[in-house]
Chains A and B, each alone.
Chain A
Amino acid sequence: MASIVDVSERKIRPIYEAIEISNYKSALSQCNKLLKKQPEALILKALKGLILERTGKSEEALQLCSQVKEKKPSDEPILQALTMVYRSLGKLDEVIQIYENAVRQSPNNEELANHWFMALVRNHDYKGQQQAGLKLHKSFKVNKYLFWSIMSLVLQAENAPESQSTIFISLAERMMVKAVNEGRMRTTEEVHLYMIILLKQNKTKEALEVLESLKDDLVQKCENDTEMIHIRNDLLLKTDNWTKAIDASKSSLEVNVDDWKAYLIYIDSLFHIIDSNEKDEKDEKGEKDEKDEKDKKDEKGEKDEKDEKDENGESLNKKLNLDAAREFLYSLQKKESESNDVKRGPFLAELELEKRVISGKKESKPAKEMETLTIEYARRFGDKSSCFEDLKPYLKDFSLETSKKFIEEFKASIDNNCEDEKSKIRNVQKNVNAYKLERYLGLLSDINESDAMAYVDKLWQSYNDALQYGSKLLDTENQYGDEFVILASHILIDLHNRKDQNSFLFYAIFLLDKALHKSKYNFQFKLLLIRLYQALGIILEPLELYKSMDIKHVQLDTMSHYICARSSSFAIYEDVTQACYDTLPIYRSNDVETPEMIVQAYKYATFSKIQEFIQFRKELDNSQQKVLIDREIIRLEFLSVSKDFKGAIEYLEREIDISDLNYDDSFCKSLYDNRDFVVMNNYNSSKNKTIEEDTRVSPKLDNTWLKIFSIIPQIFKLMHTNNNVDSLIPLIEELEKSVKLENKEGLGITLEERYIGKTVVSLGRLYIAFKEVQGGQKESVEKLSKIIDEIISELKDKSTKEFSEVKLQELSWKHMHRFSTFIETCNYIIVVNKIVNETINVKNKKSGNKELAQMLQVLSTSVKENLESTKKQLSDLNERIKDGKENLFSCIKSENNIEFCKDNENLSFINAILTDKVSLSWQSSIESMIQAIGFRI
């Protein structure tokens, strides 16, 4: 048997050390030296394999490793070295095999056997896991291994077709029952595993029975585990155990009077009990008329008890009706009112209870009307910032009149004459809530422009007034009145969307930027600023703001869309490409770290988390954002490399791999959209779009977008490499279908992107027609010429003439997008033109080819003319920006101006924004576009 003892530790250590500091050259020479003396020493071979792998010689490394593998080593250092090689080359099967072999060699080595199991876990080999788990349990008699095996069966069931799935899960259940009978189930996590098995089969009754028959210290363990409590409560509801559910919720509330879930369980159960009471009443009416209403209820209550055979149910059902429930909540409220730190729980629960009474079809009436309850709540908790969110669900059905009355009463309840600072700070929050609710209730929807501007001024004034209370706040804290500024910017965003005047966006930027100086880390300010600047066609400042938010790790997946979506539109190619690339490490981390965490979950027998970790890995691995960024990077890079034709061709050859550019429906369906669109505060009425939607500069990227920008590089790759046009046709057809999709709300592409797609469709057809001509089909010459004419006339149409007229204060994202996509389109035409041209030049200059060459020449000339004229417009625009910086502000100011802009003290602040943030970014984008054109004419 192979062994490590052949080579002494003393001799090997320096090799390990060299590898550790990545000094592979020295490691290799030391290794070779020792190998000369002991050519068969497996550890040396394995280490050499590792060094070779690290230096990029994968083939040689694998060869060496397979030599070692054949000897079936079972020494940990050898196995470790092999594992490292195989793992980094993605050969997880091999890792499993070497450990399987090793376990056979040393069946009593528990650690080896553990490694074997974990190798199976990393490879998601559930069947192998199950068997390995059993074997481990048999050999080493540790309970944990048995549960590993059962867990593996559950995973097998989840991933098998339905017919087999049932077999696996019932086998898991049988094993579990046996384990329980043998007294092996001792931890909460094992109970959890049991629950997973039963719930997967919808065996709710059985699951509840298991929980209720737990013994010894497991009872206490589960009673103190929030997750187990939740599982039990869910089971009580699912099995119609209303009385017990009520008991459970009451005991939860004894511990935590703010437990919302407990209130929901209480209220749900309450209405079920009332329902069944009424039903029984109807059933019994004919039989027992003599008794009065109340008695009937009582008796029926008793009947329920019997039906449920519930010994602990006491006489709850008898008494439980709406009034009793109200009494219960009032008693909790009373207790809270007497405490120093009043919790919201019982008060919000009252709103929920009465809301359900109102929305129910019953004759029952609410004890208090919603108008009264909400205003009472607002009066009591108006100084909490959560008050707005708390009340939202209960204000939904308010009429305009009720809404007005509510806001009036709430505002009137704020005592603005109070003296002490604490109360004043509380008032700030109350006013903020009043404004938020006013907006949510739609009371501002038909406000006219000048009133709206006055409203903005009022909010800004309130913000300024509140600043004095925050002078002692730390740098890291937000000022008390920050929300006033958010609300003001929301009004300005409304106005912009209504009137399409950029000045409103500028005003919002001024206010937010100013307030950001006082609350340096307010991320709500930053998110809004990112969107508003982008709307004006500005990217440099959003990039800075984004960086300052320290977005990292998993946030890269959820937040990067704020900066990466359509980043090519701003034409600051290097910076945005970098921003896209900076997002990618999270996906690599997921590949490397998450499988190890699944291993950890097994190691600590945390069965409740294994499926979660697997799911998390999947959602991140199949992240839509990951694919969207990948396609955006290809766009950006292809444009940048095709400054010259050679670069474009090299890129197509080296970087574009068709198999990586998946876009079909099943692929799209497998993607997870993890993008965070809800983190931006939103106070809009639920009938309207959210502020996040209101501030979107362009449609949200979707699978149609993904399709278009996956197909385009594929078409180019095929044109370059494939002489066979057959594979091109379906791609062209698919692309055409996507760009012709009906333009409806929610479609993720812009008109300009349609145009790019349309042009590439034409280019693909051009290429095919050209191939036909070359193949001797003379009639295709005409086809070719028609396609070229079409492309040329479209180019003229889309050429950006009207932009020479654009006023600086109207410059926006749309203009940047038009310019940049036009350049991108021209680039595609140029590249195809050259691909085709090259083929002609290679061949002998036949007379027919001459004709073709002329046609291509016409196309090329037309592209250049259009680019020339675009360049001229861009240069003019750039000059105007340079000259116009000084008076941009006076152009922005319209008749309806905000007070902030009238204050001379703010002038230098405003000018700094306009010069350093606005004009500078515009110029950078435009100069970058001019440069991109320059390479092509």
Chain B
Amino acid sequence: MSELRRFRTTDLFRFNNVNLDVLTETYNISFYLTYLARWPDLFCVQESPSGTIMGYIMGKAEGRNKDWHGHVTAITVAPEYRRLGLADGMMKLLENVSEKIYDGYFVDLFVRVSNKVAIGMYKKFGYSVFRRVNGYYSSGDNNEEDAFDMRKPLPRDEKRESVIENGENNIVKPEDL
């Protein structure tokens, strides 16, 4: 139960309950404002009836020709608002905007291969693994981790060319993205 609305710039002052969670990265001003300036309709927030920010999604539209698609850059829900279907609502919104406004062929996202919970959730939403990116996540030391590039075709991709079977075995290097 929430209000799904566009992210407002001053929400940055009040998103601590979401961003203090260790897995949610806080970026610099330019990062958020660039998204707001270019894709204001792909950066949305879920607000609770009492006015607390519960989570948000930020995305962009990118690619050329048949690779033109919506991309989920970040999606996060504060710990106390998980298991309420908020991510579901936000993903639907991003997919809808990618389809109706940007006329994309698919929506994609990257996820750590170890993040079983998230992968399961995305599969439930209709996403499948398109490829595995070696060492996509690297945080300095030896903490390298592969990412799954997961995709969901939109109606424009009638022949479902943007997805493949067994993408888990389709291994690429980050520089080839």
Query: In the assembled complex, which residues on chain A have CB atoms less than 8 Å from the CB atom of B85?
Result: 258, 341, 343
Q: Is A225 among interface residues, defined by CB-CB distance under 8 A?
A: yes
Query: In the assembled complex, which residues on chain A have CB atoms less than 8 Å from the CB atom of B167?
Result: none
Contact status of A549 and B83, CB under 8 A, knowing A590-B29, A609-B40: no
Query: In the assembled complex, which residues on chain A have CB atoms less than 8 Å from the CB atom of B8?
Result: 612
Q: Is B84 among interface residues, defined by CB-CB distance under 8 A?
A: yes
- A596 CB, nearest partner CB in chain B, Å: 7
Q: Is A220 among interface residues, defined by CB-CB distance under 8 A?
A: yes
CA distance A549 to B25 in the complex (A): 11
Q: Is A543 among interface residues, defined by CB-CB distance under 8 A?
A: no
By the criterion CB–CB under 8 Å, are A609 and B28 in contact? no
Measured CB to CB, the nearest residue on chain A to B81 is A386
- B121 CB, nearest partner CB in chain A, Å: 12
A-B pairs under 8 A by CB, number:
165
Q: Is A260 among interface residues, defined by CB-CB distance under 8 A?
A: yes
Contact status of A549 and B37, CB under 8 A, knowing A258-B85, A594-B29: no
Q: Is B96 among interface residues, defined by CB-CB distance under 8 A?
A: yes
By the criterion CB–CB under 8 Å, are A552 and B16 in contact? no
Measured CB to CB, the nearest residue on chain A to B93 is A226
Query: Mask for B56-93, Cβ within 8 A of A = 1, else 0?
Result: 00000000000000000000000111111100010011
- A433 CB, nearest partner CB in chain B, Å: 11
Query: In the assembled complex, which residues on chain B have CB atoms less than 8 Å from the CB atom of A826?
Result: none
Q: Is A359 among interface residues, defined by CB-CB distance under 8 A?
A: no
Q: Is A60 among interface residues, defined by CB-CB distance under 8 A?
A: no
Contact status of A679 and B17, CB under 8 A, knowing A258-B2, A260-B3, A390-B49: yes
By the criterion CB–CB under 8 Å, are A554 and B41 in contact? no
Contact status of A226 and B30, CB under 8 A, knowing A558-B16, A679-B16: no
Q: Is B113 among interface residues, defined by CB-CB distance under 8 A?
A: no
Query: In the assembled complex, which residues on chain B have CB atoms less than 8 Å from the CB atom of A609?
Result: 9, 36-37, 40
By the criterion CB–CB under 8 Å, are A601 and B37 in contact? yes
Query: In the assembled complex, which residues on chain B have CB atoms less than 8 Å from the CB atom of A616?
Result: 9-10, 12, 33
Which of A393, A521, A550, A559 contacts B16, CB < 8 Å?
A559
CA distance A374 to B155 in the complex (A): 43
- B12 CB, nearest partner CB in chain A, Å: 5
Contact status of A344 and B1, CB under 8 A, knowing A606-B37, A606-B40: yes
CA distance A604 to B30 in the complex (A): 15
Q: Is B134 among interface residues, defined by CB-CB distance under 8 A?
A: no
Contact status of A348 and B49, CB under 8 A, knowing A597-B33, A600-B34: yes
By the criterion CB–CB under 8 Å, are A258 and B89 in contact? yes
Query: Mask for A587-624, Cβ within 8 A of B = 1, else 0?
Result: 00110011011001101101011001101100100000
By the criterion CB–CB under 8 Å, are A521 and B26 in contact? no
**Number of B residues contacting the other chain (C-beta, 8 Å)?**
50
By the criterion CB–CB under 8 Å, are B22 and A224 in contact? no
Q: Is A29 among interface residues, defined by CB-CB distance under 8 A?
A: no
Contact status of A227 and B3, CB under 8 A, knowing A386-B48, A549-B20, A553-B27: no
Q: Is B14 among interface residues, defined by CB-CB distance under 8 A?
A: yes
Contact status of A619 and B27, CB under 8 A, knowing A230-B5, A676-B16: no
By the criterion CB–CB under 8 Å, are A593 and B50 in contact? no
Q: Is A385 among interface residues, defined by CB-CB distance under 8 A?
A: yes
CA distance A390 to B30 in the complex (A): 35
CB-CB contacts below 8 Å: A206-227 with B:
220-221, 224-227
- B124 CB, nearest partner CB in chain A, Å: 10
CA distance A551 to B16 in the complex (A): 9
Measured CB to CB, the nearest residue on chain B to A187 is B101
By the criterion CB–CB under 8 Å, are B101 and A676 in contact? no
Query: In the assembled complex, which residues on chain B have CB atoms less than 8 Å from the CB atom of A676?
Result: 13-14, 16
Q: Is A321 among interface residues, defined by CB-CB distance under 8 A?
A: no
By the criterion CB–CB under 8 Å, are B26 and A225 in contact? no
**Number of A residues contacting the other chain (C-beta, 8 Å)?**
64
Which of B28, B49, B83 contacts A260, CB < 8 Å?
B49
By the criterion CB–CB under 8 Å, are A389 and B50 in contact? yes
- A689 CB, nearest partner CB in chain B, Å: 18
By the criterion CB–CB under 8 Å, are B84 and A386 in contact? yes
Q: Is A392 among interface residues, defined by CB-CB distance under 8 A?
A: yes
Q: Is B177 among interface residues, defined by CB-CB distance under 8 A?
A: no
- B103 CB, nearest partner CB in chain A, Å: 10
Max chain B C-beta neighbours (<10 A), residue from A390, A596, A597: A597
CA distance A141 to B50 in the complex (A): 47
CA distance A64 to B69 in the complex (A): 49
Q: Is B19 among interface residues, defined by CB-CB distance under 8 A?
A: yes
Contact status of A554 and B26, CB under 8 A, knowing A256-B4, A261-B3: yes
Max chain A C-beta neighbours (<10 A), residue from B21, B28, B41, B82: B41
Query: In the assembled complex, which residues on chain A have CB atoms less than 8 Å from the CB atom of B40?
Result: 189, 227, 606, 608-609
Query: In the assembled complex, which residues on chain A have CB atoms less than 8 Å from the CB atom of B1?
Result: 258, 260, 343-345, 348, 386, 390
Measured CB to CB, the nearest residue on chain A to B20 is A523
- B139 CB, nearest partner CB in chain A, Å: 12
Contact status of A220 and B100, CB under 8 A, knowing A343-B1, A616-B10: yes
CA distance A60 to B13 in the complex (A): 42
- A441 CB, nearest partner CB in chain B, Å: 17
CB-CB contacts below 8 Å: A337-369 with B:
341, 343-345, 348
- B54 CB, nearest partner CB in chain A, Å: 8
- A230 CB, nearest partner CB in chain B, Å: 6
Query: In the assembled complex, which residues on chain B have CB atoms less than 8 Å from the CB atom of A521?
Result: 21-22
By the criterion CB–CB under 8 Å, are A523 and B26 in contact? no
By the criterion CB–CB under 8 Å, are B50 and A224 in contact? no
CA distance A558 to B37 in the complex (A): 23
By the criterion CB–CB under 8 Å, are A557 and B13 in contact? yes
CA distance A341 to B89 in the complex (A): 13
Contact status of A606 and B36, CB under 8 A, knowing A225-B101, A549-B20, A558-B13: yes
Query: Mask for A742-759, Cβ within 8 A of B = 1, else 0?
Result: 000000000000000000
Query: In the assembled complex, which residues on chain A have CB atoms less than 8 Å from the CB atom of B20?
Result: 523, 549, 551, 555, 679
CA distance A555 to B100 in the complex (A): 35
Q: Is A188 among interface residues, defined by CB-CB distance under 8 A?
A: yes
By the criterion CB–CB under 8 Å, are A554 and B97 in contact? no
Q: Is A478 among interface residues, defined by CB-CB distance under 8 A?
A: yes
Q: Is A674 among interface residues, defined by CB-CB distance under 8 A?
A: yes
CB-CB contacts below 8 Å: A531-573 with B:
549-555, 557-559
- A436 CB, nearest partner CB in chain B, Å: 11
By the criterion CB–CB under 8 Å, are A600 and B29 in contact? no
- B157 CB, nearest partner CB in chain A, Å: 18
Query: In the assembled complex, which residues on chain A have CB atoms less than 8 Å from the CB atom of B27?
Result: 553
CA distance A450 to B19 in the complex (A): 39
Which of A220, A227, A593, A594 contacts B6, CB < 8 Å?
A227
By the criterion CB–CB under 8 Å, are A615 and B48 in contact? no
Q: Is B170 among interface residues, defined by CB-CB distance under 8 A?
A: no
Q: Is B38 among interface residues, defined by CB-CB distance under 8 A?
A: yes
- B60 CB, nearest partner CB in chain A, Å: 12
Q: Is A476 among interface residues, defined by CB-CB distance under 8 A?
A: yes
Max chain B C-beta neighbours (<10 A), residue from A189, A226, A604, A676: A226
Measured CB to CB, the nearest residue on chain A to B86 is A258
Query: Mask for A456-481, Cβ within 8 A of B = 1, else 0?
Result: 00000000000000000000101000
Give the B-binding residues of A (Cβ under 8 A).
188-189, 220-221, 224-227, 230, 256, 258-261, 341, 343-345, 348, 384-386, 389-390, 392-393, 476, 478, 521, 523, 549-555, 557-559, 586, 589-590, 593-594, 596-597, 600-601, 603-604, 606, 608-609, 612-613, 615-616, 619, 674, 676, 678-679, 681
Task: Show 29 residue pairs from A and B whose CB-CB distance is below 8 angstroms, ordered by the A residue.
Answer: A188-B41, A220-B100, A224-B100, A226-B4, A226-B41, A226-B44, A260-B1, A260-B3, A341-B85, A386-B48, A389-B49, A389-B50, A390-B1, A476-B22, A476-B23, A521-B21, A550-B22, A554-B12, A554-B13, A555-B26, A557-B13, A593-B29, A594-B29, A594-B33, A597-B30, A609-B37, A619-B10, A619-B13, A679-B20
The 9 closest A-B CB pairs, nearest first, are: A597-B33, A521-B22, A600-B37, A523-B20, A616-B9, A224-B100, A612-B9, A601-B37, A261-B3
Given contact pairs A553-B28, A554-B26, A613-B36, enumerate 13 new A-B contacts (beta carbons under 8 Å).
Answer: A224-B100, A226-B4, A256-B92, A259-B3, A343-B1, A385-B81, A478-B79, A589-B28, A600-B38, A608-B6, A609-B37, A612-B9, A613-B33
